[in-house]
Amino acid sequence: MATVLEKPEHLRLTEQGKPVTLLEAIREGLWEEMERDPSVFLMGEDIGAYGGAFKMTDGFLDAFGGLRVVDTPISEIGFTGAAAGAAHMGMRPVCEMQFIDFISCAYDMITNYIATSRYRGSGGVPMVIRGPSGGGVRGGPFHSQNPEMAFFHTPGLKIVYPSTPYDAKGLIKAAIRDNDPVLFFEHKWLYRRPQLREVLPNEDYIVPLGKARTHREGRDITIVTYAAMVHKCAEAAEILEKEDGLSVEIIDLRTLLPLDEDAIIESVKKTSRLLIVHEDTRTGGIAGEIAMRINEKAWEWLDAPPLRVAAADAPVPYSPPLEDYFLPQVDDVIKAARHLAKY
Amino acid sequence: MATKTKTRTAAIPHGLTREQLLEMYRLVRLTRSLEEKLEVLFKQSKVVGGLFRSLGQEGESVASAFALNRRDDGTGDMLSPLIRNLGSMLTIGSRPVEVVKQYMAKADSLARGKELNIHITDYQRGFIGQISPLGDLIPVMAGVALTFKQRGQDRVGMVYIGDGATSTGAFHEGVNFAAVQRLPLVVIVENNQWAYSTPSKFMTAAKQFIDKAPGYGVAGEQVDGNDMLAVYAASKRAVDRARAGEGVTLLEFMTYRRKGHAQHDAQTYVDPAEIEHWASTNDPIDRYVKTLVDNGWATAEELTAIGADIDRELDEAVAEAEQSPLPEPEEALTDVYGDGPVNAPWTRHTPPDPTLA
Ligand SMILES: Cc1ncc(C[n+]2csc(CCOP(=O)(O)OP(=O)(O)O)c2C)c(N)n1
C-alpha cells in the first residue's frame, strides 16, 4: 500500500510588498477568500498534499485541512456536480481542472445542470471552475486549449480570463463572491512570467466581473483582446508606435461573459478602427461576436471594417514549428494593424 | 573456458517456447533502455514537452501484449496503450526509432509532430493512440471489439487504464457497454498505487479494483504485475475467453510506479524507502532474469548479448531520429479534414489579405 508523507511547513503567502507572479496572485486570492469565508472550499485532483499540478494550492491543505481542500478522484463530472450540490446548500466551492482541457469531461454538468439552475427555479450556483489553459508551452492538443467559446454560448455562465497579477487576484476574489457559476481561465504561459510581476495592494480588493480595462491608451486603432494576447499585442503596439508612429489602444476584456460592450464601443468611437485578437481558434471565436456588436451599435464611427487575428482553425499541434505557426504572433498583430491603418 | 551449464532444464509453462521467453526478455529490456535513452534526450532538451517513465512496471506491459495475436497486416488483435505502456507498444510492433521521432516532434514521426507521447496509431500493426482525457479509449476499444464481433473476426481488443482513471465516467460507460454486449475486450487496470500524487485509497473505496468486475457482470482476475509469466498467463486466459465469445475480462495488475508522475515530479509525497524496497526486491526485469536463469531457460551470456544488440539498435534509432527534420510550419493546417488543408491565417499571406481567411 502506498504511504503518504507528511508535507513540510510552507510559507503562507508572498511577503507584503514583494512583486508577485500571476500564479501567486491567484493563490493569494484563493487563500484570502478561504480565510474570509468558511463556506469557500476547494476541490480537484492532486490539490492537497501535492499542492496542484502547477502548485497553485501548495500549503492549503496544511492551513485549511482536508474538509476544505478536497482531493478528488479523476472525475470531472463527479466533482463539478458535487460542487453544485454543495453550492445549493450554501457553500462556495472552487473546482480546479488540472488542465482546463478536461473541462470538456464535465461539459454536460456545467451547461445542462449548473448553468440552467437559477432559471429552472433551483437557485443560483455560486461556484468557480478554474484551471490552466492556453498554448505556447508544447503541451500538444490536450494540454493547450482555449475552450472559452465552447461555454460562451451558454446563458447562465460567467467567463473570466485575466492577463495581469492584479486583475487575476481581484477577479478570482470577485468570482468566488459572485452568486453565479464562473469559469475562470488561467493562461499557463503567463503563470510564472517574471516580466508580469507586480506589487499588489495590502488591502482587500476585488476587480468587478464584466468590466474591461484599458491596458494601453491610444488614438489610431483599438485592439480588443484578453489573456496572453494582451502581452503580445502590447509588444506589437510598441513596435507600431516606434516604426509607424501609430498610437494603439489596447482593451483587455478580462471578463468575456458578460461582455463589456460599452468599453469596446467607447474605444472604437475614439479610434474608428478595430482589431480583435484572440488565441482561441478563429471560427466561432469571440471576435465574430464583438465585430457584430460593433456593426449593430457603432457602425457610423468606423473608418475601416473590423478585423481579427486568431489561431488557425485546427487542433493545437505539438511540434514547435507547428505550434508557432498555429498561434497568433506579434508579427500577425503588426501586419493586421498596418492593414487597418492604411485602409 | 566453458562455463558450467545446468544439466536440467525446467519445463516452460503456459505453452511458451524458449524463443518466446527470450523475445519477451528482449522487449522488456528494450522498453527500459528506450525510456532511459528518452530521459537522456529529455535532459538534453531534445524531447519536446513532457516525459513519462514506466520504471518498475515494464514487465506487465510487455507480458500482457505478448498474449495477443501480433501481426502487421491488419488482421491481428488491437491494443490501446496509456502513457506508461511503451512496453505494450514495442511488443505489438511499434519501433524504437518511431518512438524517438515522436518524442522529438519530428515531421516523419507517426503523428507527424502533431501529437505527443505514445499517442500514436497504426491499425495494420494493431495499435490505436489514446488521447489525454483519461478513460476515453475504453468505449472506443469497446467499439473496436464490437466490430470484431459484428464481422465474426477472431480478433480481440486490449485496453489499459490506470488505477486513477478508473474513476472516470468514460471508464464505467465503456466497460458496461462492452460487458452488456459480451464483447471480446480485455480491460487492464494497472494498479501502480499512485495516480499522480493521489494514492489508490482515494481513488476507490473498494478493497481492490477487481472487486468491481462482478458489479459489471464480467470476469475478473488480479495478478502480481511484476511477475511477467503470471501476467502473461492471466492475459492469455482473458484473451482466450474473449476469443471464445465469453466477453470482457477485467485484469488488475499489482505493480508500483517508481518514478514521479512525469519528469517534472520530484515525488516528494512518497517515502523513498518504499521506492527503494520495490527497486531492490521487486523489479520485474530482475525477477524475470532470475526465473530464466534459475530454470535453465536462458544463460546470462545470452541475455547480455541481447542487451548489447538493443544498445546498438537504440544508438542507431537516436542517430536517425536526430537527422529527421522538424515539420514545415504550414503542416499545422493539414489533416484537420480529409479533403485538404484549412485556410492559412490572413496575416500569413503576402500581402496580408483579410478576404482570404
Ligand atoms: C479526464 C482527465 N482528468 C485529468 C487528467 C490529468 N491526469 C493525467 S495523468 C493523471 C493521473 C493518472 O493516474 P493513473 O490513471 O493511476 O495512471 P498512472 O499515471 O498511475 O499510470 C491525471 C490526473 C487527465 N489526463 N484526464
The reply to whether ligand 1 has any atom less than 6 angstroms from the CB of B193 is no
Check whether residue A130 and residue A44 sit in a common domain: yes
For ligand 1, the distance from its centroid to the CA atom of residue B238, given in whole angstroms, is 25
Q: Is B181 on the interface with A (CB under 8 A)?
A: no
What tens digit of pLDDT does each residue of B311-325 get? 999 999 999 999 999
Is B290 within the bounds of a domain? yes
What tens digit of pLDDT does each residue of B169-191 get? 999 999 999 999 999 999 999 99
Is the Cβ–Cβ distance between B117 and B82 less than 8 Å?
A: no
Is A2 within the bounds of a domain? no
All cell numbers assigned to A48: 492537497
CATH number at residue A292: 3.40.50.920
- Name the active-site residue from A143, A187, A215, A278: A143
Q: How many angstroms separate the CA of residue A177 from the nearest CA in chain B? A: 30
pLDDT, mean of each 10-residue run, chain A (343 residues): 45 72 97 97 97 97 97 98 97 98 98 98 97 97 98 98 98 98 98 96 96 98 98 98 98 98 98 98 98 96 97 98 98 98 95
CB–CB contact B270 A5 (8 Å):
yes
State the pLDDT at residue A7: 39
Check whether residue A83 and residue A21 sit in a common domain: yes
Chain B, residues 99-118, CB within 8 A of chain A, namely 105-107, 111, 113-117
Check whether residue A171 and residue A46 sit in a common domain: yes
Check whether residue A144 and residue A13 sit in a common domain: yes
Q: Is B39 on the interface with A (CB under 8 A)?
A: no
Q: Is A66 on the interface with B (CB under 8 A)?
A: no
Check whether residue A133 and residue A37 sit in a common domain: yes
Task: Spell out which residues of chain A touch residue B189, defining contact as CB-CB under 8 Å.
Answer: none
Is A4 within the bounds of a domain? no
Answer with the one of A196, A224, A246 that is the final residue of a domain: A196
Check whether residue A285 and residue A189 sit in a common domain: no
CB–CB contact A319 B113 (8 Å):
yes
Count of structural domains within chain A: 2
Range of the domain at B191: 18-356
Is B11 within the bounds of a domain? no
Check whether residue A147 and residue A221 sit in a common domain: no
B281-299: average pLDDT: 97
Range of the domain at A43: 9-196
Check whether residue A186 and residue A219 sit in a common domain: no
Q: Is A141 on the interface with B (CB under 8 A)?
A: yes
B48 → chain A, closest CA residue: A138
Using alpha carbons, list the distances in angstroms from residue B149 to B80, B143, B154, B171: 18, 10, 8, 21
Check whether residue A19 and residue A103 sit in a common domain: yes
Check whether residue A175 and residue A298 sit in a common domain: no
Out of B57, B82, B134, mutate this one to test ligand 1's pocket (max ligand atoms within 8 Å of CB): namely B134
Using CB atoms within 10 A of its CB, is residue A62 exposed (0-12), middle (13-18) or buried (19+)? middle
B127-147: average pLDDT: 97
Is A203 within the bounds of a domain? no
Is A34 within the bounds of a domain? yes
Check whether residue A159 and residue A248 sit in a common domain: no
Is the Cβ–Cβ distance between A101 and B132 less than 8 Å?
A: yes
Is B293 within the bounds of a domain? yes
Check whether residue A245 and residue A314 sit in a common domain: yes
Question: Is A143 a known active-site residue?
Answer: yes
Which residue, A206, A112, A224, is CA-closest to A167? A206
Is B274 within the bounds of a domain? yes
Count of structural domains within chain B: 1
CB–CB contact B115 A4 (8 Å):
no
Whether residue B3 is predicted with pLDDT greater than 90 in this model: the reply is no
Is A237 within the bounds of a domain? yes
Q: With b meaning 16 or more CB within 10 Å and e meaning fewer, what string describes B289-315? A: bebbeebebbeeeebeebeeebeebbe
Is B264 within the bounds of a domain? yes
B2-13: average pLDDT: 71
State the pLDDT at residue A16: 73
Q: Determine the 3-state secondary structure of B314 from DSSP.
A: helix
Is A128 within the bounds of a domain? yes
State the pLDDT at residue B278: 97
Torsion of CA A143, A146, A149, A155, to 10 degrees: 80
The reply to whether ligand 1 has any atom less than 6 angstroms from the CB of B186 is no
The reply to whether ligand 1 has any atom less than 6 angstroms from the CB of B196 is yes
Is B312 within the bounds of a domain? yes
The reply to whether ligand 1 has any atom less than 6 angstroms from the CB of A76 is yes
CATH number at residue B114: 3.40.50.970
CATH number at residue A131: 3.40.50.970
For ligand 1, the distance from its centroid to the CA atom of residue A252, given in whole angstroms, is 34
Which residue, A61, A25, A59, A24, is CA-closest to A43? A61
**Where does A134-285 have alpha helices with state H?**
148-152, 165-177, 228-244, 261-271
Is B124 within the bounds of a domain? yes
Q: Tell me how far apart the alpha carbons of residues B131 and B75 are, in angstroms, rounded to a whole number.
A: 24
Q: Tell me how far apart the alpha carbons of residues B320 and B316 are, in angstroms, rounded to a whole number.
A: 6
The reply to whether ligand 1 has any atom less than 6 angstroms from the CB of A199 is no
What tens digit of pLDDT does each residue of B83-100 get? 999 999 999 999 999 999
Residue A282, CB-side half-sphere exposure with 13 Å CA sphere:
21
Prediction ipTM score: 0.93
B98-108: average pLDDT: 98
Is B4 within the bounds of a domain? no
